[in-house]
Structure formats: structure tokens, C-alpha cells
Amino acid sequence: MSSLLIKNATVVTSADQYSADIYVEGEKIHTIGKNLAVKADKTIDASGCYVIPGGIDAHTHMELPFMGTHSSDDFETGTRAGLFGGTTTIIDFAIQTQGKSMGEALAHWHEKAKGKAVGDYAFHMAVTDFNENTRPEVKDLVQKHGITSFKIFMAYKGALMIDDRQTIELMEEVKKYGGMVITHAENGDVVDHLIAENRAKGNKEPKYHVLSRPAVVEAEASGRIIDIAHQGKHPLYIVHMTCEEALDRVREATKRNQKVFVETCVQYLLLDESVYFQEGFEGAKYVMSPPLRKKKDQDALWAAIDQNLVHTVATDHCPFCMDQKRMGIDDFSRIPNGAPGVEHRMELMFSEGVLKDKISLQKFVDVTSTAPAKIFGLFPRKGTIAVGSDADLVILDPKQTHTLSAKTHNMNCDYSAYEGWKVTGKVKTTILRGTVAIDQGKALINKGFGQYLSRESSGKK
Ligand code: URP
Ligand code: ZN
Ligand code: ZN
């Protein structure tokens, strides 16, 4: 069994910060202590750096078939890019095709990932057709396949959306087996109406994407799903929340003692809707759903992280290259929805969040790793630095500066949503299950290293 010793680390977890050495045997953390007198096959000096748990991005879409094309990162390029930025685990979405079974979707996503993923991965199941034939699949998905989170879309009518009746019945079924429903909250009917209205007026440019998906449609759907979960006492996680109006619905729910898990994504904290109003087709780079919002929404989201109202920060990584985005050059509603992000979530949250005093170091670790691990049943194997946990460790140099660019990033996408951004704090080394995966900008492990993570529950307190 190989061994690794990390010396002089400043260990940061979601609860602690202290100086120690970390000794790793095989894939697991074996000992944590001061001045460990132990010989290892490999020693890394982490002086001057933070050592944090490997990041967990609970919301990615690798090789997603969507809007007539596929997202441009597959499990190899996407998980490798994640590792460069300190994300060691992703939770991707296996998406059921309407009229087909969830089992088929799962088999298909396993095919995409197996032998290809460089980093570790788990799956949520996106349920797009819930009926008497697919209902019995839930038990097996949880108990045999380790899928404990089931996503529903309240938008994308005709492709992914299900109705409230299907949602209630899915929630009941999922709860029986210790799982949780997670939700894309936008009112799909109102969105479709606004899109049709804009198209009828000949409005073509990317800015009509945001104008067809105002905050109120997200707030309405968030409030509705929160109420639906409340009436049946079901756990609930809302993905990619973007705005103050939706957060207010969560805040309201806390007054009746309801707990709702909330995810936002790094782009909603850092970018705003002004990008849609640029000249030409530039705004297409940021066409995603829900869209970017206003500056006041960014402030509300940062505050909500601090107030424990937002629990996780993911990316909704769903990149499309510019020639794919150009499918919507004459019709904003045909621009594939999604943007790249998996590589830079950790560094951006450190640089813009911790160094700009918006969140503490511990909160940074919590929202990027520990909380997603706990919510989705990966803790304590993942999401912390503790004896017996997987040795998924990130050595972060807090002083090193660098500039983000499509020219240098590792994601398979020909633009960066953060082109030219100067970031302070760089991932120097990423360790995945005791093996050095990335060191000084070089990938040292290959496709197929990533393992599937089976889970037992989701949404537990
Ligand atoms: O624009 C987005 N978010 N694309 C990916 C699909 C989804 O809604 O999560
Ligand atoms: Zn979504
Ligand atoms: Zn998504």
C-alpha cells in the first residue's frame, strides 16, 4: 500500500483550522498530528498553504444531450478540469428520456462515465416521466444503485418538465427509501408564454433570454415547490437559486419551521445580467437557466450563505462552444442553455468570497465540500479531513495570483465566463484518494481513475 505524508499543513475544515501533518495510507487518511515521525513513499511540504477537503460540485452536466446538441465536456475532460481547480467529486445528472425508464438513463450515464472519469462521481436521477411504470424503479435506484437524489424540472416543457401531481407522487415514493427530491424551480408555462411573446415580436437577441425568465417565475416556482414539500413533510433541495425573490420564499418557510436546502452557483454570486445587454452575440455565452440576475441579488445570495439560508455552491457546469451557441444566432430561445465553470469554482469562491471578506474560510469549505457531502450522503467518506476519510485533499496557495482565460483553462470550451479575471489563490496540488492527481498545473492521473460513488441517503439532518 503506498503512503503519502503532507508536512506543515494549515488544515482547514468546515469547523476548524490548525497546523498539522497528514499521513495517508492507501486511499485513506491514516493519522493527523503535529510533527509526525513517520516514513512515507512520498512527502509534500505544504508550508504557507491551506490544505482543504477536495471540492464537491453537486451540480454538473457532462456530455448532456440538450437543445439539439451535447454539452462540450465529457466525463474525462470535465472531471479533469475539476481536479485542476480542486474539485475531486462531481454529482452529475442522469436524465430520463420521456417515455423511457430511469434505469435506461442510469445505464447510459454509467456508460458515459465508466473508464473515462478522471475524478470521482455520483449521479442524481432527473425524473422527466413519473407514472405507474416508472414508480417501482425508485426503490431499486436507491437500494441497488445508490442514487438517493431525484431531480425534477419545473421548466423546459415538452422535454424535461413534469407537473405538480407527478412531483407530489415522486416525493412520496422517494421519501420511503430515504431519498430527496431536488428541483429546478422556474414556472415553465410562464417562461414558454414569454418566449413565444418575444419571438412573435421578432425579438431575437440573447437579452430576450433574461427578459423571458424574470425573477418572479423563479420565485413563484420556488414558493410552490416549498409548499408542496411542506404539505407532505418532504425534504427538499432547490438547485441553482439566483435571486432575492426566491430566497424570500425560503426565508418565509423557515418561519413555519420548514427546512429547505438551497444551492446557488458561483456565477450567480459573481456575474450579473448586464452581460446580456452587450452588443452582438456576446451575451449568448451567459445564456443559462435561470439567467444571471442583478447586483442586489448577488448581495442577497452572499448574505444568505452567511445566514445559513444557502447551503451549497455548485456550478451547473454545462458548457457549449460558440459554434453550438450560434444555433441561436437568429433566435435567443435556440441558444443552448449553460456555461462552463467546474474548473474555477473553488478558486473563485476563495478569491472573491474569503479574501473579500464575504465568507469565512470555514464557510468556504462548508459550501464547496462539506455541506454537499452531508446533504447527498457522501459524508464522512468525502467532504472533510478526518482519520478514515478518503484522502481527497487540496493544497491551496493563498497568495499566488493568476488570470483566468479560455487560452489556459482545461475545460473543453472555447470561451471563459471569467475571461481576464485576476484571481488570488491557486490550487497547487490536488490529491484524490491518496494519489496526487494534479501537481503544479500537470495532470498525473488518467481517465478511468475516477470511481462511481454509491450513496445511501439524501436530505438527512
Ligand atoms: O442553463 C442550464 N442551467 N443548463 C443546464 C440544465 C439545467 O437547467 O440545469
Ligand atoms: Zn436546472
Ligand atoms: Zn443543471
pLDDT digits 0-9 by tens, 266-323:
999 999 999 999 999 999 999 999 999 999 999 999 999 999 999 999 999 999 999 9
Nearest CA to ligand 1 atom 7: 289
| pTM to 2 decimal places | 0.98
Nearest ligand to the CA of 184 is 2
Nearest ligand to the CA of 64 is 1
pLDDT at 461: 74
Nearest CA to ligand 1 atom 9: 316
Sites in the chain below the pLDDT cut of 50: none
Q: Is the beta carbon of 171 within 6 A of some atom in ligand 1?
A: no
Q: Is the beta carbon of 273 within 6 A of some atom in ligand 1?
A: no
Q: Is the beta carbon of 289 within 6 A of some atom in ligand 1?
A: yes
Q: What share of the chain is helix, strand, coil (3-state, %, to 5)?
A: 35, 25, 45
3-state secondary structure of 392: coil
Give the distance (Å) from ligand 3 centre to CA of residue 265: 10
d(CA 341, CA 51): 22
H-assigned helices in 69-151 = 75-84, 102-113, 137-143
pLDDT at 167: 98
Give the distance (Å) from ligand 3 centre to CA of residue 59: 6
pLDDT at 235: 98
Nearest CA to ligand 1 atom 4: 338
- The ligand 1 atom nearest the CA atom of 239: 9
pLDDT at 153: 98
Give the distance (Å) from ligand 3 centre to CA of residue 116: 21
Sole residue written with cell 434505469: 103
Give the distance (Å) from ligand 3 centre to CA of residue 58: 10
pLDDT at 222: 98
What grid cell was written down for 237?
433541495
* 315, 60 contact by CB (below 8 A): yes
Q: Is the beta carbon of 183 within 6 A of some atom in ligand 1?
A: no
* 325, 276 contact by CB (below 8 A): no
pLDDT at 347: 99
* 177, 143 contact by CB (below 8 A): yes
Q: Is the beta carbon of 188 within 6 A of some atom in ligand 1?
A: no
